[in-house]
């Protein structure tokens, strides 16, 4: 039996250890580093004549992760007007700046694309995939990503930075971006999100 004088310190110690354990288990939040995060893609051009590659130059968002609990979330927002094929004429055509086209990205009406998902398939404390939803051209569809590399380390400016390379595929026709479908364009898109995020 504990004496009253011994019981209080014991209870206090238990309370402190419980709070400490809770603090350790709390998920971390990371802010996406827009200067080191550029979603990129590959699409068919001229019905198989070539493969065009491009990227988006403006991305924001956040990630939460609890490695011990093997849980986490991803929230990414992409400025679709920042699309960059390395060809200004094609950029303007795809965004509709030259002439709005509902079968293209039509950024006047749909300026933002988002990806919301949850981290999954943890191995050795790191996620191996994201199960989520892509919203593009006003349409939301399930698109899962395979995480091909993942690493967290001390950042140059202090604090922890995590980086990943995520890969996925989808059909742009599923999102109403059907330009070229009637004359043989492949609607498939290869998406890669190369991302860095810093702990808050």
Q: Is residue 22 predicted with pLDDT exceeding 60?
A: no
Any domain includes 106: yes
Question: What value does the mean pLDDT take over residues 24-35?
Answer: 88
Cβ-contact 72, 119 below 8 angstroms: yes
For the chain, the domain total comes to: 1
pLDDT confidence bin for 82, thresholds 50/70/90: very high
What pTM was computed for the model? Answer: 0.84
Any domain includes 20: no
Any domain includes 16: no
Gap between the Cα atoms of 32 and 197, Å rounded? 4
- The confidence score (pLDDT) of residue 6 equals 54
- The confidence score (pLDDT) of residue 23 equals 47
- The confidence score (pLDDT) of residue 115 equals 97
Of 159 and 119, the one with more pLDDT = 119
Any domain includes 187: yes
Any alpha helices (H) in 26-160, and if so which ranges? 88-95
Any domain includes 145: yes
Gap between the Cα atoms of 131 and 74, Å rounded? 9
Mean pLDDT is highest, among 7-11, 155-159, 168-172, for: 168-172
**Average per-residue pLDDT for the chain:** 89
- β partners of residue 169: 190
pLDDT confidence bin for 16, thresholds 50/70/90: very low
Any domain includes 191: yes
Q: Is residue 124 predicted with pLDDT exceeding 60?
A: yes
Instruction: Calculate what percentage of the chain has a pLDDT beyond 90.
Output: 78
Gap between the Cα atoms of 121 and 128, Å rounded? 5
Tallying the residues shown for the chain, one arrives at 200
User: Residue 166: how many CB atoms within 10 A of its CB?
Assistant: 25
Any domain includes 184: yes
> Which residue is listed with tokens 């198989």?
48
Helix, strand, coil percentages (3-state) for the chain, rounded to 5, are: 20, 50, 30
Cβ-contact 177, 136 below 8 angstroms: yes
Of 6 and 149, the one with more pLDDT = 149
Any domain includes 18: no
Domain that holds residue 48: 27-199
The phi-psi region of residue 120 (left if phi > 0; otherwise alpha if psi is between -120 and 50; otherwise beta) is: beta
Question: What value does the mean pLDDT take over residues 132-138?
Answer: 97
Task: Identify the CATH number of the domain in which residue 76 sits.
Answer: 2.40.128.110
Q: Is residue 77 predicted with pLDDT exceeding 90?
A: yes
């Amino acid at each position: 039996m504990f004496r009253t004088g011994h019981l209080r310190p014991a209870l206090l110690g238990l309370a402190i250890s419980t709070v400490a354990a809770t603090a350790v288990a709390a998920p971390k939040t990371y802010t996406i580093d827009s200067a080191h995060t550029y979603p990129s893609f590959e699409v068919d051009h001229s019905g198989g004549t070539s493969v065009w590659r491009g990227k988006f130059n403006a991305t924001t968002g956040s990630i939460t992760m609890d490695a011990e609990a093997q849980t986490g979330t991803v929230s990414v927002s992409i400025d679709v007007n920042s699309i960059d094929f390395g060809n200004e004429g094609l950029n303007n055509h795809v965004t509709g700046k030259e002439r709005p086209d509902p079968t293209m990205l039509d950024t006047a009406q749909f300026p933002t694309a988002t990806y919301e998902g949850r981290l999954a398939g943890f191995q050795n404390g790191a996620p191996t995939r994201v199960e989520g939803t892509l919203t593009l051209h006003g349409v939301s569809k399930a698109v899962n990503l395979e995480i091909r590399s993942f690493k967290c380390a001390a950042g140059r400016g202090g604090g922890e930075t995590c980086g990943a390379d995520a890969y996925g595929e989808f059909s742009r026709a599923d999102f109403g971006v059907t330009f070229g479908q009637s004359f043989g364009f492949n609607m498939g898109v290869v998406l890669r999100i190369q991302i860095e995020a810093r702990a808050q």
